[in-house]
Structure 1
Amino acid sequence: MSLNTEDCLSIARGIITGSPPDLKTLHDICETPDDDVFNLLAGADLIRNFYQGKKINLCTICNAKSGKCSENCGFCPQSAFHQTQIENYGLLGKEELTQIPKRLSGSHVNRYSVVTSGRGLSSDEVDLVAQAFLSLEGKRLSYCASLGIIQDQDFDVLKNAGVTRYHHNLETAESHFKKICTTHTFKDRIDNIKRAQKAGFEICSGGIFGIGETNSQILELALELKRLDIDAVPLNFLSPIPGTPMEGLSKLTPLKCLKIIALFRYVLPEKDIIICGGRQLNLKQLVPFMFHAGANGIMTGNYLTTQGASLEDDIEMIIQLGFEALV
């Protein structure tokens, strides 16, 4: 079934009034052809405006430990299994970890995350990261950590250091996961998220698209995140890196990216949807439409191994579109 604009607005009104779409309708959204994607945006924009208004969240990250990762995720240039040209270095020190938040504490950026490569940090390394966060006490920013699969006591250490959100992507649907990674399981990721939730953290978890997944698997991932009651959902679009198994795989169009964003808004109406890596490369001239597709947050600045937009350019775009950067 092809959905027209009024169909999409009707679905959105149902969501707002407590009648979410059934699975068939969600599959219809998944299969919407590129020519009809702007029909989806009408409803997604209505949902985003109802739950999040015009305020846009901005977050930024520090790539605190780069490369030589023991995991073999096929899209990732940081894997030790792939021959890429990225910079490799161990965990940064306290002073380096606090440079970005000190510089941005008076800006429109409202969340800062420390991100590290590898299966997970050791307890000693988690302690170092926690000490860096503790030294930032009194800054306006909220803090997030993305340190891989860690121990229960490590979550407690981070919590006591003022970290409020833990990031751990599912990356893709369970039915597709073994095609992108075999050194750990989808269940390992789910278990880590549940332990972080049990420790009292908000959870930031999403995925990356353009890695060979089907439309149905995109929906499968969205529904899994809904089942887990994830708080914030980062959406990444593959930037093919030479030397990785997926360097030539991405076949995303800008309209396909907008459809993915819109689908996640229909499935997760009340959650933060944050557009992260690959937005410039994949959305191209349609980048500003990501908000009308349902996004209410973006990662600003550089990503882990690729360049992003500057904070100044992102703020200017937000203002020009009639949105407001959250303070």
Structure 2
Amino acid sequence: MTEEAYFNLAKTIIQGNTPDSTQFAKIAHLTDDKVFELFPGANLIRSTYFKNQIHLCTICNGKSGKCSEDCTFCAQSRFHKTDVETYPLLSKEKLQQPALDLKNTQVTRYSIVTSGKGLSGKEINRVSEAFSEIKDLPLCYCASLGIITEDDFNLLARSGVTRYHHNLETARSHFNNICTTHTYDQRIETIKAAQKAGLSVCSGGIFGLGETDDQILEMALELKCLDVDAVPLNFLSPIPGTPMEHQSKLTPLKCLKIIALFRYVLPEKEIIICGGREANLGMLHPFIFYAGASGILTGNYLTTGGRQLEKDLNMLNQLELTPR
């Protein structure tokens, strides 16, 4: 396909037509030297649904380390020997403070993220109380607390949480290669339970785990089927002490192709670029928006340093994009 063909494909998508999987497969298998051909179409889709506005969100690592799960990429797993800081669930005040610090910034969503397969009932209550006491702030709230119950979701919703984050992480066909302590179906069931409670869902994954191009597309199509609302895309930053410590980083162009593929497959969904964006994209980092990204996670990530809000705002200003 040519650049013009991809642009015409984008126009067809905007008109409400869903291409068959063979069209998406052509994007997934595109060689790096052809990636820029995807940009006019991907940018057209993004600007059609999101204009020139870019979503900004940030997270708090509310509980760190000693995770019972064996995800091969994660510094927080108790199965791996890493230098990650470990601590139990923070106090209500410490969970709330980052949200209070966002006053007069242009960040619009704040999320509390915790390590572990899931939280206990007592821990869920603390997180819910923390949200409830600050729900009048001009922020939207998200939680990422692992696999929890329907009652827990309902409690979070009553506390002012409007979105739940729970990644698929990778394609079903690759999942057992990166995690054996819980199943892919458990992740899908958690997403559906959050949706049943009336929460919007943020679900994506991490790339650079040895997945194939077909598996990247497989995950995108799974998320389309689940009808999630936002899709966070992370790129592996190999962490010493994990099984992935010697894994090569993705090329910047491969990262951009992944973003563009997700934009073509999920035209109206929020696509948020998160962990590893600077480390993997390097000088091509600003191109994420032309590849179709409509949001970024700003500030620090869970166990790796992120990018200062001021730098992200300056980048958006130079690109004549507006934070939302």
Is 2:170 the counterpart of 1:169? no
Q: Distance in 2 between matches of 1:224 and 1:109?
A: 29
The one-character-per-residue Cα deviations of 1:148-200 (angstroms, maximum 9, x if unpaired) are 00111111111110000000000000000000000000001000111111011
Is 2:232 the counterpart of 1:230? no
Q: Distance in 1 between matches of 2:14 and 2:248?
A: 34
Equivalent of residue 271 in structure 1, options 252, 256, 269: 269
Letter in 2 for 1:34: D
Q: Percent identity?
A: 61
* Preserved CA contact (<8 Å) 1:106 1:140: no
- 1:248-327 matches, within 5 Å, as 248-326=246-324
* Preserved CA contact (<8 Å) 1:11 1:20: no
Equivalent of residue 132 in structure 1, options 130, 133, 144: 130
The structure 1 segments of at least 4 consecutive aligned residues displaced by more than 4 Å after TM superposition are: none
Letter in 2 for 1:52: F
The one-character-per-residue Cα deviations of 1:204-245 (angstroms, maximum 9, x if unpaired) are 000000000000000000000000000000000001000000
The one-character-per-residue Cα deviations of 1:253-303 (angstroms, maximum 9, x if unpaired) are 000000000000000000000000000000110110000000000000000
Is 2:32 the counterpart of 1:34? yes
Q: Provide the residue aligned with 1:178 in structure 2.
A: 176
Equivalent of residue 155 in structure 2, options 150, 157, 161: 157
Q: Distance in 2 between matches of 1:289 and 1:221?
A: 23
Q: Distance in 2 between matches of 1:252 and 1:4?
A: 24
Q: Provide the residue aligned with 1:109 in structure 2.
A: 107
Q: CA deviation at 1:105?
A: 2.7
Letter in 2 for 1:100: P
Q: CA deviation at 1:20?
A: 2.1
* Preserved CA contact (<8 Å) 2:46 2:267: yes
Equivalent of residue 20 in structure 1, options 18, 23, 43: 18
Equivalent of residue 98 in structure 1, options 87, 96, 99: 96
Q: Provide the residue aligned with 2:53 in structure 1.
A: 55
Letter in 1 for 2:146: G
Q: Could you list the runs of 5+ residues in structure 1 that have no partner in the other structure?
A: none
Equivalent of residue 211 in structure 2, options 210, 213, 216: 213
Q: Secondary structure in 2 aligned to 1:164?
A: strand
Q: CA deviation at 1:251?
A: 3.9
* Preserved CA contact (<8 Å) 1:277 1:303: yes
Q: Could you list the runs of 5+ residues in structure 2 that have no partner in the other structure?
A: none
Q: CA RMSD in A?
A: 0.7
In the superposition, the TM-score normalised over structure 1's length comes to: 0.98
Q: Distance in 1 between matches of 2:248 and 2:259?
A: 17
In the superposition, the TM-score normalised over structure 2's length comes to: 0.99
Letter in 1 for 2:79: F
Q: Secondary structure in 2 aligned to 1:309?
A: coil
Is 2:189 the counterpart of 1:188? no
Letter in 2 for 1:293: A
Q: CA deviation at 1:41?
A: 1.0
Q: Distance in 2 between matches of 1:43 and 1:137?
A: 39
Is 2:78 the counterpart of 1:84? no
Q: Secondary structure in 2 aligned to 1:298?
A: strand
Q: CA deviation at 1:21?
A: 1.8
Q: Distance in 2 between matches of 1:70 and 1:151?
A: 18
